[in-house]
Structure 1
Amino acid sequence: MEFPAAASPAPASFDAWLASQGPQQAPVAAGLLGLLEPTGACLAVKSMATGRYVFASPGMSELFSQSDHGIVGSTDAELMRTDEVQAMRRAEQAALAQRGVVSSEHRLELGGRRREFMVTRIPLGSEHVMALWSDKTEERHRESHLQRALQQLEQQQKALEQLRRELQQGSGRDDVSGLYMRAQFDDQLLREIDLSTREHREFTLVLIALDPVPEGQETLGDEARQRLLEGLGRMLRANTRAMDAACRIGEDLFAVLLSGVGLATAHARMEQLRRQCHAQIVVLHGQDLGLSLSMGVASFPHTASRQEELLQAAEMAAKEAQRRGGNQVVLASIPFGLGG
């Protein structure tokens, strides 16, 4: 809403200031204040000519421990430290210069306690600035606690991965993920096809691809990719049976053979794994990278009855999952007339 410039000298109270603006503004201001009070936000209007507050909501007076007589008529110099006053003045001048909304963060020492605020300002004409104060102290404390927890988790993950590497040295497993590699996967796939053919039973092949990193994480580079590969390796080792084979078969591609498992059961298990991976916290430099996967599920013999066709079907399903935006499980199509 537009407010014309106030006359000088500035009125001593917001009521007087409102009266100088015209009676049509009073209901608007009262309604605005009524909306803000339940949110815990505080509202103040300051005369730039005198530097004195001409209006302050009750919360502002409580904030500065001035509940008895309020802060109307006071200046920042009477309420804050010199460095805090200077920061306030710079933000107010920016709002006047830009003739629009300006938000800034301020740290104040109040009652012996460090408090943090987001203050959003808008000029009212050319001589007054309205400021909306939001207390961010508890939010910043929570963010700080979360950051420390993430840093501790990152150190634990590093230590566990280092221990795992030391224990499996010479085992023929992939150093990063801790899983078997392509050669073991090809052997296991041939054995599974032979077993299923002889015993007339099905098994499922799942191809799992890491989704591209979200915007903003590209600069983290190879170290972030390694952490994600380590995280996926941990999840696959913890969520596959001894009779299943979980392997890393490419740079960002993994495969799981689910022995004796049909499409419906495999889909349910992989959907559960996808949700668990998505909820998994993988940390780098105190930042949760987010583990997002695309999975393609194909079965022998219903999807395909030959090794290459089975691999191709699962790969196409995984690519389709990524085409749909990633973080999905897609079933390979079953050709008409194939299988029993």
Structure 2
Amino acid sequence: MKKLAYILLILGLFHINIHAQQPSRPYTITYIVNKIIDKGEYVDEKRVDKSDKISTNHLIYISSPKKDSVAFYKFTDSQILAKKSPQICTLARSQSNLILKYEHGSYTTQLKLNFNDKEKSISVGDKDIFYLNDSYYIYLHKSIGDLLNIPDLIDFLEDYLTVYDLEDLKYILSYEKYKYNDFKILKAVMESYRTQATDYLDKWNVKFVYDKSGILKYVLKESTEGDKEMEKKLTFSNKGIFKYTKHTNVESRLVTDNEILIDSNKHIYEEKVSSFQVGLGKETQYEIKQVSFKSFPTKVFMLTSDNISKIKSSK
């Protein structure tokens, strides 16, 4: 018996030593270059400036092996070698809830998420609730609830990233809901206080409509008083490529029209945007076109100027 116990102890120590010597899984860098085409400002439908302005954004996302942490860097060409601290997004458990925390600049966004198995729903924040079909709920419960997968969470909340101050992360959405036509959000209820009348509470119903093949073709976010804040329509779909128009009206102050191109096969997310500030009578137009998308392993989570320079020159 003593000999058997000794052998088991040796095997146990050997097992621990082998695992200790194995290299940890690497982080993943997603490097995206976008061209921004500024189409200018318009007042009374007349263009203020005469020519387009073109700039380049370099977006670097570094994901942990579990995808429960993401560091985000954003540079223009002139900033590419500047020393800069990343924005950090983490997803973690806290008692019976999940907490998404996004530190961007001097601001911190914090969202509480909770899964309800009985209703097959996910609550986001204090009062927003999304109701899902069986397959999508089971998938997200495993991916987000158990595995803390941030890209799947961003994919799920894609149309509401601006609402939750997560717009910077839209380029790392997982595209899973575009790949599987049996993943459906059935409906949602949301609440928000107005920015210029903080004691006024808007209550919203969100309607989702899918075509016969299961592709999302229409979304409407409408208040109980009949105000339409967001309307999204499918205009094209073929083999993982989708085109949508999206109209948003924020408190009759900012009206935005987007034409969105999504290629879920190549991780492409492009937009044409027209934004009208009602009080100023001013409209701005711009386009975002993807120049390149790269993904590769790395050993570091925080980047130096030298790291950034190597990433930019990577093939």
TM bucket (normalised to shorter chain) is under 0.3
TM-score, with normalisation over the residues of structure 1?
0.21
Higher helix share: 1
Which has the larger Rg?
Answer: 1
TM-score, with normalisation over the residues of structure 2?
0.23
